[in-house]
Amino acid sequence: MKIAEVRPILVGNPWKNWVFVKVHTDEGIEGLGEASPDNLAQAVEGALRDIGPMCVGTDPREPSELWERLHKALYLTTDGSALHALAGIEIACLDILGKSLNKPLHELLGGARRTKIRAYANGWYQGPRKPEFFAQRAKQVVALGYSALKLDPFGAAYGDLSPEEEALSLSIVAAVREAVGDEVHVLVEAHDRFNVHTAIRVAERLAEYEPTWLETPVNSEDLRALGEVAQRSPVPIAAGERLRTVTQFRDMLETTRVRYAQPEPLNLGGILMALRVAKLVEQHGALMAPHSAQSPVATVICTHLDACCDRAFVQETFDDFHVDWARNLFDPYPRIVDGYLEVPNGPGIGISLNEEAAAAHPYSHENILPLFEVGWEQRTGRR
């Protein structure tokens, strides 16, 4: 079996364009992967068009060998667009391998150790930055069966918080905690917003609401700052989504007290690199909560990863809170049942893309998530 074509597909999700990859073979088996970045979707599409011809004529059933060859040929360090492109190709090749063997992805990764993984909801607070709105929506999320949810209450903050903004942010967390009760896990996201001093102060003030974690409170690549916050924070720290190499994760786990590691398979160049990170997480006694802020395809990929890892704690998902038409794009669409994602058992990754439906929603340069602009929580893109 040989690769005949690598084809990128862009879909205009309103707050983040999605990038998918179809790998076609000379035997008719097709593989689906995802390569969506946070922004710069066209840059990833361009990388796929550059890298795709290098794959033609190779065996897709050897994804690890292909990945290593491409990584060396491209002389990569941590180029985000190229790593996302490699991730999409690798995942599509794993999909082909699974289909050719009639095996689900998790069996190719070592075998499932669980049949389901607890999910936490993200993307549910699309509306005004007011405590009463967050509280109302949080109740609705719990009513869907979730036992964990995440929010970024900090508005457009960057570096520091004014007293007024800090008070509002804390009141939002307080309102959510009161709305959902003590048994629901409340996870607080900070999107790399703060300096060390502000991050520690915010963590100290958040502690009374007993959040499960404070996520990426300072620049993710500044391990010295991250380590200081993790050491002094009364709230456990989660981090890692923006790291792009296994070495960076090794350094983070060895030099900080981060309790929850958040590998993002698409940032790392694919699921095989994320599996290496999972082994490091286990060796260092941390817990794993893979980052997944893209499409339902990414959710399914992470669910396979979770199935194989002892230290998998919880899985992020946006899938109940995407635009309505997203449900027409994927088969099957991931379902959260009683707060859990079930591990797929179909061959390959276990999800397909309806290209005809996808074509009705083209790329738009307006589809971005401006995290440091007022009103980004609306998730409507830049208008």
Active site residues: 191, 291
Taking 3-state DSSP, the helix, strand and coil percentages for the chain, each rounded to the nearest 5, stand at: 40, 15, 40
- CA pair distance 126, 168, nearest whole angstrom: 17
Nearest to 88 by CA among 303, 240, 271, 276: 271
Nearest to 126 by CA among 309, 296, 321: 321
DSSP three-state, residue 5: strand
User: Length of the chain in residues, anyone?
Assistant: 383
Rounded (5°) CA angle 40-364-9: 70
DSSP string computed for 89-111: HHHHHHHHHHHHHT-BHHHHTT-
* Residue 348: alpha-carbon gap to chain centroid: 20
| C-beta neighbour count of 244 within 10 angstroms | 20
CA distances (Å), 331 to each of 21, 121, 274, 296, 350, in order? Answer: 16, 20, 25, 10, 8
